[in-house]
Structure 1
Amino acid sequence: SASLGWPQSTFTAYTFKDTDGEKHKIKVSTYNYYFSMYYNNLKNTATQYSQYGLDLSQLNMDVDFEQKLSKQTRTEDDKTQTWLEYMQEQVEEQIKDTYMFYYMAVKDNDGEEPEITEDQQSDIDEALENYETSAKQYGFTLSGYLEAALGKGVNEEVFRRESKISYIAENYQTEYQEKLGEKEYDSTDLEAYRDAHLADLQSVDFKLFECNSEDDAKAFLDELKADGSNFAQLASKYSESDWDIEANKEDVQTTYTNMTRGTMQNLSFAVSTADEDGETYSGLDWLYSSDRKAGDTTQNSTSVVYIIKPVYLSDVTTVNVRHILIKPESEEGTDEDGHNHSDAKECTDEEWQAAYDKAVSILDEYKEGENTSEAFAQLAIANSEDGNASSGGLYENIIPNQMVPTFNAWCFDGDRAAGDTGIVKTEYGYHIMYFEGYGEYNVWQYTAQQALASDDGTTALDDLKAKAELKRNWFGSRYFEIDTDIDF
C-alpha cells in the first residue's frame, strides 16, 4: 500500500503564501489528511444526529455517504454546489487557516517550531495507538490502515506531522486572540459603544419563575399578590421536584437584579425565546420597554414575570471570586474509580449534610492557615470538584446573572469585601467562596470593552486571512481523495 501513496507523498497540492508573502509547498498527503478528517467528522456527526431523530435536510447535512459526493448537491445562501465542491472549500479553508498560524508561530519563535504541550503529544500518541489496535483487528499494518482510513499518502509520519502542526497553530491562534482581546479602550470609545447599544446594556430587576405548563403559569399569575410578596411561595407551590419545592421558598432563587437584555437573551426562559420569525423577541421587548413600571406583571407562555425595577443603566462592577465545589456523593452515582456522577438534587439529606460538613472542614482549614488568596487557591486545586479547580477555583470578571442565583447573590452582595469567605448551597453542591475583589470596569463598560475587542479582533483576523493565499496545483489535485474510497 506504500506505493499507492507515493504520488500523494511527493506531489504538491497547493502553493501557500503566508502573511509575510513567503511561499511554501503543501503536499497532496496533507490535503488528504484534512479531507479525511473533515469527511469522517461530518459522517459521524450526521450519524449521531440521525440517531437523535433530527432531520438532516433541515440542517443542510443530508449527504449520502454511500453515493459519490460529486453527484450530490447542496444549497446555502442561494449558492448551489456539489457536496465534493463544498467539502473541498471547507478543507482548503482549514488548511489555509492552520498553516497561516503555523508559519506565524514559527517566525515568532526565531524560525524554530514551538513545542506542543505534553498533553497534546500524549493525545497524538494515544490516537496512533488506537489506530494500531484497529489495524490489527482488520489485519492491516498501521501504515496500511492509515491510508485506508485517512487517505492515500497518509502514514504515521504524516499523521504526526500534521497533528503537531495543527496543535502549534491552535496554540498560537489562542495566544494571538488573547492578545487582541487585551486591547483597552478609553472612556470615549466605551461611551460611544454604550450610546449605540444602550438597549442591550440596560438592566431590569424582576422576579421570574418558569412553570411546567401554560395553565400553571396562568394560575400562578392569578394567585400573585399585587406587591409580589408571595412570589417565592407560589414558585415553591408550582415546582415539581422535592429540591425545587424547598429551594424556591427562598426569594433569591427567583429574583434577578442587574439583568441586561444581552444576558437575558442567552437564558432558556420562555419569555426570552425568539418569536416564530427567529428574529424578534416580543417577550424581551415587553420586559425592557421604557413603559414598564414597578409592579407590572406578565405571563408569557410558561414564564411569569414581576417587575421590581424597570429599565436602567446599572453601575454594578464585575467581580472576581474563587470557589471550591463540594458535591454531595451518592453511592449509587459513584463509578468503580470513585468518581461521583450523581445528580446532586437527587441526593439524600444525609449526603448533603456530609458534603456540608466537608465544606466546613475545608473552610476551617483555610481560616487556620495564612488566610490568603494563594492559600485558598491551593485548597481549591486539592479539593474542588468544579472544572476550574486547576486554576485555583478562580472566576474573573463575573457579570450579574452569569452564575446560578445563590452563587450570584453572594458575589453581588453590596457589602462584599476582598477576603470575604462563606459557604453557598446551589443545585450542584456546596461552594466554599472567597472574594478576590472587584473588577476594573462596571458591567456595561466591561461588556463594551469585550465587544469592541471582539470586533477589532475579527477585523484583524480578516486582514490576516486576506494576506494569506492558497493556490491549488492542478496536477497534484488529480491525486486528491474525492469520494467514498475512505473505508473506515
Structure 2
Amino acid sequence: MSDKEKKQNGQAGGVNSQKPEKKMTKYDLKMQRRREEELRQQKRSRYSTIAGVVILLIIVGVLGWKFYEGYQDKHGAYVTVGEHEVQRSEYEYYFYSGINSMYSYYGTYLSYMGLDLSKPLDEQAYMESMTWKDYFDQQAIGQLKQVYALTDAAAEAGFEYDASEDVNSFVESIETGAANADKSVSDYVKASYGTLATLDNVKSYVEKSSIASAYYESIEDATEITGEEVENYYDENKDNYDSVDYLACKIEADMPEEETEAAETETAAETGTSGETETAGETETAAETETVAETETMSEEEKAAQEAEQKAAEEAAMAEAKTKADKMLKQISDESSFEELYSEYATDASVESRKTNVKKSSVSPSAVAEWLFDSARQAGDTEVIEDTAGDAYYVVYFMDRYLDHTKTVDVRHILISSAAETTEDMTEEEKATAEENAKAEAKQKAEDIYSEWKDGEATEDSFAALAEANSEDTGSSADGGLYEAVTKGQMVAAFNDWIFDDARKPGDTEIVETDYGYHVMYFVGDNAEEWYTKIESTLLSNKMQEYMTNLTDSLEVVDKRGNIDYLHVSETESETTTGTAADTTAETAGETAGETETAGETETTAETEK
C-alpha cells in the first residue's frame, strides 16, 4: 500500500498511528527521578503545613485556655452566692479577715489551739473531719452569705446609707498599718488580704459590709421587745437570773498518795539530804523508771491488789471527811452557829464562808448549785453535799433566793489617753520620762476640756458635743461618749466605783483616772434593772438570729470550680462542724476596721497562704 493510500485510510498520523518508542537515556532517567523527588517534597511540604497549622491551633488553644483560666481566677466567679458571682479577691478578703481577727484575739495562743500560720492551713486539722482551711472557708462563706443577704434586702427596701466615713476610716487604718510595717500601701493590703487584693477592691468590700451592717442595725432598732415577753422569759428561766445567799464550808478528804507519787516523794527527800551531785531532774527520772520497772514486773493479781488497796484508802479518807461534815451539820441551828463552827471544820478557814448575791453559774461545785436552786429550797435548810471531783464534802446553809433589782446606769465620758509613744531603742529611764510626760499632758487636756464645759452651757448636750470632738474612746465618741445600761463590774474599777456610788445623782461630773487615762465623767442617770436588760438583750439576739437565718437560708452557695472543700462534704458531716464566724453581721463593718488595725501584726497570714 502506497503512502497516499495509507493517508486516505487514516493510518498516517491518525489516531491509531503509533510512533516508535524513544529510548531512555541516563539523563532522562536522572531528570525523571528529580521530578519524582520534587513531587514527594511538595507532598511532604503540604503535610507539614497542615500539621503545623494543627499544632499551632493546639498551642493557641492551650495558651488561650490558660489565659482564660487565669482571667477566670482573677475576674471570674470563685464562688456564687445566690445570684452574685464572687471573685477570688473578694472571697480572700473575708477569708484572711477571719484569720486576722482570730490572730488579733488570740495572738500567740493560737499554737495551743493547734494552729500554725507558718504552715499550710489545709494540712492542719481543726477537728477530725475539718482542716483549719475548712474552718476559715466556712467563716468566709458565712460572712458572704450574710453580707449579700442584707445588701439585697436593703436594696429591696430602698434603704440608703453613706458608707464613705467607714471607708475613709478603713483607708486611714491601712495607711497607718502600712507605715508601721514599713511597707507600701499596696504591699500591705496584699499581705493582709491576699495576692489579688488592691486598695480599691478592698474599699468596695468594706463599703458593702458597712451597708449590710447599717441595714442590720436598722432592723435591730425597729425590733420591739415587750415587757410581757421579758416577764415570760424570766418565768421560764428563773435559775439563770435569780441570786442566792448561803453559807458553805468545804471539808477536804485527806487522800492517800498514789504509789508512784509516794516513791517519787521519798526519792526526792533522800536526794535532798544526800551529798550526791546528781541533779533533781535526773533523780526524778531514775525514780520514775524504777517505779515503772517495778510495776511492769508485778503480776496482774498484785496490780489488782494494789489498786484495791488504793481505792479502799481513798474511800476511807472520803468516809472520814463525810463523818466530819455530818458532825458539823448536826450542830448547826442557825447562821451564827454555822459561822462559829466554820473555823473548826473548814479545811481552809481563810476562805469566806458567807456567799451573797451569787448567780447559779458562779456556784461551784455544780451539785451545790443544783441544791441551792431547787424550787423547794427554804430559808434555814442545810445539807452535806459530796464533791467527787474535788475529793471533798460541803456543808451548806441556805439563806435566801431572790431577783436582784439593781439598776443599770447611763453615763457619758470623754477619754483622754495617757498612753506614751515609746520605741525599743529607748532606755528604761527615757520610757519612764515619756510615760510621765504623756500622763501630765493627758491630765492637763482633761482639765482644760472640763473647764471648757463648765464655762459654757454646762448641759448634757454640750458635754456630748465635746465628747464627739475630743474623746479617744472609739466605742462611744460617735454617740457623744454615751454608754447605756452599764452593769456593775462592766467597766474598769475606778470608772465602775464612780458611776455606782450610792450618792451618785443625774448631772454629776468629775475627772476620774484609770489605766486608760483620764475620763471626764457625766452621770446621766439610772436605767432599767440589770436582769431586765439582760433578758431584753437575749430576746433581741434570738429574734435577730432568727431573722438572719430566714434571710440566708434560701441563699445557695455554689462552688463549680471546686475551690472550697468543705462545701462538698455531706450534710451530716457538715452539721458536726462549727458554725460560721458570727451568728449575725451586726459587727461586720466594725470588725473590718478593727482587723485592719492589726493587719500589720498578721501580715504573715496572707503571705503564708500564697
TM (norm. structure 1) is 0.58
Whether 1:473 and 2:560 are equivalent positions in the alignment is yes
Q: Is this contact kept in 2: 1:102–1:165, CA < 8 A? A: yes
Alignment partner for residue 6 of structure 1, among 58, 71, 91? Answer: 71
CA gap of 1:5–1:31, structure 2 versus 1, over 3 A, is farther
The residue correspondences of 1:404-419 to structure 2 (distance < 5 A) are 407-408=495-496, 410-412=498-500, 416-419=504-507
- For residue 170 of structure 1, the aligned residue among 201, 209, 213 is 213
Distance 1:256 1:358, change over 3 A: farther
Of 118, 121, 125, 2:168 maps to 121
Q: In percent, how many aligned pairs have the same letter?
A: 28
Counterpart of 1:235 in structure 2 is: none
Distance 2:416 2:399 in 1: 35
1:200-211 correspondence to structure 2 within 5 Å: 200-203=240-243
Q: In the TM superposition, what is the alpha-carbon distance from 1:316 to its structure 2 partner?
A: 3.7
Secondary structure of the 1:402 match is coil
Letter in 2 for 1:318: T
Larger radius of gyration: 2
State how far apart, in whole Å, the 1-side matches of 2:436 and 2:67 are: 43
Match of 2:148 among 96, 99, 106: 99
1:35–1:457: structure 2 CA closer, same or farther, 3 Å change rule?
Answer: closer
User: Is residue 134–residue 564 contact of structure 2 (8 Å, CA) maintained in 1?
Assistant: no
Cα displacement string for residues 70-120 of structure 1 (whole angstroms, at most 9, x for unaligned residues):
x554426xxx1455544433332232222222333333446x7x4323353
Paired amino acid for 1:106:
A
Tell me if the contact between 1:417 and 1:435 (Cα under 8 Å) persists in the aligned partners: yes
Secondary structure of 2:404's counterpart equals coil
- Quote the residue 2:127 is aligned against: 75
Residue 82 and residue 339 in structure 1: after superposition, are their counterparts in 2 closer, same or farther (change >3 A)?
A: same
Give the distance between the partners of 1:206 and 1:5, measured in 2 at CA.
70
Structure 2 residues without counterparts, runs of 5 or longer: 1-65, 248-335, 340-349, 381-386, 391-396, 421-429, 568-604
Of Structure 1 and Structure 2, which has the larger fraction of its residues in helix?
Answer: 2
What is the one-letter code of the residue matched to 1:185? T
CA shift at 1:185, angstroms?
A: 0.7
**In the alignment, structure 1 residue 443 sits paired with structure 2 residue 535:** no
Name the residue aligned to 1:48: 108
Structure 1 match to 2:540? 453
Q: Structure 2 vs 1, CA of residues 260 and 467 (structure 1 numbering), >3 Å: closer, same or farther? A: farther
In structure 2, the residue matched to 1:343 is: none
**Among candidates 206, 210, 226, match of residue 185 of structure 1:** 226
Structure 1, unaligned runs of 5 or more: 18-22, 208-224, 229-237, 239-254, 266-271, 294-299, 302-306, 341-350
Q: Which amino acid counterpart does residue 438 of structure 1 have in structure 2?
A: D
Deviation at 1:399, TM superposition (A): 3.0
Q: How many pairs are equivalent? A: 389
| Partner SS state of residue 490, structure 2 | coil
Matched, 1:372 2:449: no
Q: Is the alpha carbon distance of 1:334 and 1:398 closer, same or farther for their aligned partners in structure 2, counting shifts above 3 Å?
A: farther
Does the 8 A contact of 1:15 with 1:472 survive in 2? yes
Instruction: Tell me the residue number matched to 1:320.
Output: 410
Question: Which of the pair is proportionally richer in strand?
Answer: 1
For residues 204 and 424 of structure 1, the distance between their equivalents in structure 2, rounded to whole angstroms, comes to 33
Q: Distance in 1 between matches of 2:504 and 2:180?
A: 56
Contact persistence 2:195–2:606 (CA under 8 A): no
CA contact (8 A) 1:4 1:152 kept: no
Separation in 2, partners of 1:365, 1:288? 53
Tell me whether 1:395 sits opposite 2:493 in the alignment: no
| Equivalent position amino acid for 1:191 in 2 | E
TM-score normalised per structure 2:
0.48
Match of 2:522, SS state, is strand
Distance 1:128 1:327 in 2: 22
Partner of 2:551: 464
Cα distance change on mapping 1:474 and 1:360 into 2, 3 Å: closer
Give yes or no for contact 2:419–2:516 (8 Å, CA) kept in 1. no
Q: 1-side partners of 2:489 and 2:337: how far apart?
A: 25
Closer, same or farther: CA 452–39 of 1 in aligned 2, 3 Å: closer
Matches within 5 A, 1:250-329: 259=357, 261=359, 272=362, 280=366, 282=368, 310-324=400-414
C-alpha separation between the residues in 2 aligned to 1:2 and 1:155? 21
CA distance in 1, matches of 2:529, 2:555: 39
Change (3 A) 1:163 1:416: closer
Change (3 A) 1:484 1:184: closer
